[in-house]
Structure 1
Amino acid sequence: WADSRSDIIRSFAMQRSGRKEIKQPVGHIPISFSPEDKGRMTDEFMVQLAKEYMQEMGIRNTQYIIVRHDNTDNLHLHIVYNRIDNHLKLISVNHDYKRNIKVCKKLKDKHRLTYGKGKEKVKREKLDNPDAIKYLLYDIIKTILPYCTSEKEFQGYLQSKWINVEFKQRRTTGEIEGISFRYDEIAFKGSQIDRKFSYGNLKKEFEKNRTVQEKQAEKTEQEISDRPKTDELPTLGGIKLTPEQMNTLKDGGYIYFENMQQKDGSKLSAYTFFDDKITKPFFTKQNPETFIKYGKYEMRLMDKMRIEAGFITKAKVKWYGGGMAYPYLWKENKSDTEYKESWGDPRLPKVEKEERRQNIIKSRQ
């Protein structure tokens, strides 16, 4: 027992001095409770829960303190314990994450405590590592998953966020059977972050996303084929476009035209390209494929010109590791200096986007 904060610190330090080679001699565990259980959380009951938790976690025969915090709407306690026990043995923290899940479930069932209502309600700013990183990974993966159609695409985006993706392969066949994520030297298996993020479930999502994209492409092709046929090709600056030139422009490419007639009678020679709906022509003396830096993006000149003109653009941007990525970028207001970003076409109707979200991830919590 200790009567003051200084006595507690002195007592911890004295016991720790017997194992000076241990760099992290103090363990810290926060435990939160559901607001529905607040009326039951007397000091005595919370101390009982903390002691049962420590016993189940193997934190025994050592110094500890239990601190209650109820000055926020998130009722919780903190356990601070000496990892050097009373016999100078080290209390291991290996596999604490897995054990913690089992112990919390056991105590909730034993005392009929309320289960949490989903990851969306967890207050991220209250978390410490490793839970803070687990929820960071959850939020990022959940956001980008609906737009990924392959392992490579999925891995490339996460690497751009400095998240390392590791695939576990079977020794006999080389077939992928597992996935893990590492950020800031802390790693989780996909299923530890969320059951939806096991490799088997991710693979199903990629397949569903591919199906959705293929159906969308078929729908677009059908809309094009249903348009009234015409043999008339547009004229640009007095130059009648050939079918080959028109196809190049429709595919998002560009063409260098010489001596295009302008309204004031002058001639213009420039690279020419359109927005993806072929509604507005753009002209530039500089090669449209030239990459330019804007904010956090390094993109093609032609994409920046489209965005600045108010068009939602599937831009080609330089990405992590020397690769390329193709996010949709746009400005909500002309005066905006930062671009909005989406990994799916934001122009899709809301009903279609909601249906897509429900059919693909079915995981809103």
Structure 2
Amino acid sequence: MIAKNIKGKSFRGCVSYVMNETAKLLEAEGVLASSKHDIIRSFAMQRSGRKEIKQPVGHIPLSFAPEDKDRMTNDFMVQLAKEYMEKMGIKNTQYIIVRHHNTDNEHIHIVYNRIDNNLKLISVNHDYKRNIKVCKKLKDKYGLTYGKDKERVKREKLRNPDKAKYYIYDAIKTVLLECKTPNDLRYNLQKFGIELEYKHKRTSSEIEGVSFRYGDIAFKGSEVDRKYSFGNIKKVLEKNIEESKKRGEEELLQEQTAQKVRQEATLKVKQEDEEKARKKDEAKVQVAKRNIIIKGVVLSDEQEKTLMGSGHIFLENMTAKDGKTQFSAYVFLNDEKKQVLFSYDNPDEFVKYGKYEMRIRDKILIENGYMTKAKVKWFGGVNYAYPFLWKANKSDAEYKESWNDPRLPKTQKEEQKQKPKQPIIQQKNRGRKR
């Protein structure tokens, strides 16, 4: 029984790698297991509670000797996986146990969340040494096969230098599959107190040999085991790189797919927001275009245009204040276009009012307390003038007049004072004298 502990960044990449075509899901805890996507999403949801943790993924391949193949039922492998996790301190967290059939050695993969159910981080410090001890205990407990040669040797009975050699052997075996470069191997073995030295060719920096030192005892790689000569170690490192690239490509593909889904979702939300905004703007326009209603009569666009242009219109079937009586009349606005006024006579017809002959609409405005720029007949009706007329009080018999607009700000009044004070007269074209 051999186990290795791997930390990772992406549940998507790890689960996709583990759940391949030959995989069989044996057990799942704390995750929705109806699909690979659901498993990934379940892990990610719990992981989101501790976003500062850079490597939330725990991945443990467990492999067994070919001699134990007949004993490796699904239930027994799940039992071994659970006991292994328990002894390694992997508790109270999400995990899946997956069996593979793609090698001669029966093996399973455990993928677990290093962020446990209480959002605490499951420590993996000193995993190398603890892993060796746990695997040995389980092999002894269930009578599992030790590997040939060195795997069968009982370490506790050894004395130096063999004790140091087997210690180095076990350490290399534990960390090698996790390394991609010679420096990775050096760094990981330092955790076991093992110093590594590479021998370089005289004419270049190319490595041609390796030796390992534990305490005062040193061995060449091939002395520890043939498979640990640098040539064989290099092959393992290259294989690890290829497998990592494969996992990385799968992660990249998964990430690209996820990014495309996110982009499509973002685009959809944007389009929905734009559609909502468009409808909202249309609603505003419709509200803005709602035609004026006067005494229950809705005006047409043309009628509104006439009123706002200081003209008048004639409306029929308007409803009086009592809500019952209907009447018809001419309609016009005051100068500020804020008040509606009515006349039974044509507002543009002239009547005598005070010293001026003015339009009916001007007379109605003055009598109702409004100031207006009146149109009055001038020089016996030959021309027209436009004085400002109003009453200080509605009850006054006389009205006031001004040739400048009293409603203008003081600065504009000063500008008007500089102009000749005379009525604005529209001259009729009398033609040339013959």
TM range (shorter): 0.3 to 0.5
If the length of structure 2 is used for normalisation, what is the TM-score? 0.33
TM-score w.r.t. length of structure 1 = 0.39
